[in-house]
Amino acid sequence: MKKLALNGGAKEVKGKFRPYNPIGVEEAEAAKRVLDSGILSDFLGCWDPRFYGGAKVQEFERACENYFGVPHAVTVNSWTAGLIAAIGAIGIEPGDEVIVPPWTMSATATAILHWNALPVFSDIESNYFCLDIAALEKNITPYTKAIIAVDIFGHSADMDAIMSVASKHGLKVVSDSAQAPGAMYKGRYAGTIANVGGYSLNYHKHIHTGEGGILVTDDEEIANKARLIRNHGEAVVGDMGRSELANMVGYNMRLGEIECAIGIEQLKKLDDFVSRRQAVAQRLTTGLSGLPGLTTPHLIDDCTHVYYVYPMVLQIDAVDASRTTIVDALTAEGIQGVFAGYTNIHLLPMYQRKIAYGTTGFPWNSEFTKRSICYDKGICPVAEELHDKTMFGLDLCRYDLCDDDVDQIIAAFWKVWSGLGLLG
Ligand SMILES: Cc1ncc(COP(=O)(O)O)c(C=O)c1O
């Protein structure tokens, strides 16, 4: 038996993984053309044709509509901004409750607080870590107005079930598909099934523009409201001839011409980037099958995973070793980007202390808030157990892995399992 690197043996994974760099010469040339034009942004925050942005914003939005098969794509300067615009555009009001999973990035929930509405955290299921449908139904109250379904790690939430619960209770649905551009859910792109959805274009993501985001919807009214929130809506509605002033506090969420020129080139490469990740993940899943106590990613039938990360779960009783020991041993073997657990947003200090704005507990203590919302440990037992004890993952997104790299990772897993005595 080979000595584990953790105990001073040789590493199984020899080299350093190459960082994943999706930006190529096409993006550089496209950015240079914009620079040469001298027009780095062409938005105007008033009722004017340029309210909708310049040539590259328009071209990128039409390319996104074409790719994702939606009538409206609205670019924004981050997906955090996109989420704020989406929640405002669906008409969320102070005191409304919006259901969100605890496994997401913090911005998904703060976008709700932004409109002085209240996040209600609802547990995930343990196969693909998205909203659990039974828990979701239990968390609906007379005050619930919307659900945010998060396509965490690159796999869609169960949108048929979520849309059916939403329609039964008259709720709107937002898809946070930040981590899942290009993932398919039963023949449609993740992000396009909800009332409104979208993707992050930050530099960690499958395709990126440094920072940025794309909001997609088939609802013209939601798209128009999102465009107003993106670009100083309060100053535009009057001249635009709109009487409706709900949620018309606008911002500068505008994405620049250079970013959009880069985005146009990136979008052309999305399918290729996704299929490269899928090939790596498929090879890993095949190579790791048979390791006792290890569960590799699950997929819903007729869905694809785009592997923002490669998530795994340990059956602690079967492996008889702590997750920390296993993660340390894998890292010592030279696997980069192994991480333990994900997050539990409801346990962040802001929710524990219920203070978002000011110092006195707003908006939980506002006159619009209808009831006390619980953020105690224990409200999302599946997410908490996965985070605290059993889930770990590989940051595939950060590396450009070839077959040989993947085979070394697989060999390292088998070595750790054998060195820790987990193979029986
Ligand atoms: C699930 C999720 N939602 C929202 C965001 C926020 O996106 P951005 O960084 O573009 O603002 C991220 C970013 O990592 C994310 O992963």
State the distance from the centre of ligand 1 to the C-alpha of 407, rounded, in angstroms.
31
Atom of ligand 1 lying closest to residue 211 CA: 10
Report the pLDDT value the prediction gives residue 424, as an integer from 0 to 100. Answer: 64
- Where do the domains of the chain lie? 25-266
Burial class (CB in 10 A: 0-12, 13-18, 19+), 243: exposed
* Paired tokens of 150: 């998060």
| CATH no., domain 25-266 | 3.40.640.10
Q: Give the residue ranges of the chain where pLDDT is below 70.
A: 424
Model-level pTM greater than 0.85?
A: yes
Give 227-282 pLDDT, tens digit per residue. 999 999 999 999 998 887 899 999 999 999 999 999 999 999 999 999 999 999 99
State the distance from the centre of ligand 1 to the C-alpha of 12, rounded, in angstroms.
34
Give 385-404 pLDDT, tens digit per residue. 999 999 999 998 788 899 99
Atom of ligand 1 lying closest to residue 82 CA: 11
User: If you write DSSP's letter for every residue of 200-246 in order, what string do you get?
Assistant: E-STTSSS--SS-EEEEES-HHHHHHHHHHHBTHHHHHHHHT----T
State the distance from the centre of ligand 1 to the C-alpha of 423, rounded, in angstroms.
38
Ligand 1 neighbours by CB, cut-off 6 Å: 78-80, 104-105, 107-108, 150, 176, 178-179, 200, 202, 213
- Cβ(257)–Cβ(56) below 8 Å: yes
Report the pLDDT value the prediction gives residue 420, as an integer from 0 to 100. Answer: 87
225/231 Cα distance (integer angstroms)? 10
State the distance from the centre of ligand 1 to the C-alpha of 107, rounded, in angstroms.
7
State the distance from the centre of ligand 1 to the C-alpha of 185, rounded, in angstroms.
20
Report the pLDDT value the prediction gives residue 320, as an integer from 0 to 100. Answer: 82
- Residue among 74, 124, 202, 266 to mutate when testing ligand 1 (max atoms within 8 A of CB): 202
**What are the Cα distances from residue 423, in Å, to 97, 293, 336, 412?**
48, 10, 23, 14
Three-state SS at 197: strand
* Paired tokens of 178: 């930040």
- Residue among 75, 100, 179 to mutate when testing ligand 1 (max atoms within 8 A of CB): 179
Residue identifier of the C-alpha nearest atom 9 of ligand 1: 202
